[in-house]
């Protein structure tokens, strides 16, 4: 069983590339450098709208305790570094956590 930590953020089309670059070069490596036990990775999704670009991150942890180890007792609070706040136009202040019940792969 795994826990999926899901978060949403939005930016302007003009800032979308800068935000993606920030995630890839700073935020994601910073999370990985914490070496949190049970952290299994992160996915980045993007949706281009007319007026804004939406992003979703999905982090995978082995257990909710691993999420607490990452974020602290207030584990639903979103992790949004200052550099990300500078290019985002809005974001969810909290994350949702889902238990993975089943994964099917088709090849």
52 assigned to some structural domain: yes
Confidence of residue 63 (pLDDT cuts 50, 70, 90): very high
pLDDT in tens, 32-42: 999 999 999 99
Query: Which domain covers residue 46, as residue numbers?
Result: 3-99
73 assigned to some structural domain: yes
pTM above 0.85, yes or no: yes
User: By three-state DSSP, how is residue 2 classified?
Assistant: coil
CATH number for 52: 3.30.70.100
Task: Check if the beta carbon of residue 13 is closer than 8 Å to that of residue 43.
Answer: no
Residue 18 has a pLDDT of: 96
107 assigned to some structural domain: no
104 assigned to some structural domain: no
105 assigned to some structural domain: no
Specify the number of domains making up the chain: 1
106 assigned to some structural domain: no
How many CA atoms are closer than 13 Å to the CA of 17, on its beta-carbon side? 1
59 assigned to some structural domain: yes
Task: Check if the beta carbon of residue 6 is closer than 8 Å to that of residue 58.
Answer: yes
């Amino acid at each position: 069983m795994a826990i999926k930590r899901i978060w949403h953020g939005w930016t302007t089309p003009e800032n979308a590339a800068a935000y993606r670059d920030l995630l890839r070069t700073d935020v994601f490596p910073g999370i990985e450098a914490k070496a949190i036990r049970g952290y299994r990775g992160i996915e980045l999704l993007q949706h281009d709208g007319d007026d804004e670009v939406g992003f979703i991150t999905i982090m995978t942890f082995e257990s909710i305790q691993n999420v607490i180890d990452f974020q602290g007792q207030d584990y639903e609070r979103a992790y949004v570094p200052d550099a990300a706040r500078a290019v985002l136009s809005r974001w969810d202040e909290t994350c949702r956590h889902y238990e993975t019940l089943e994964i099917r792969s088709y090849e």
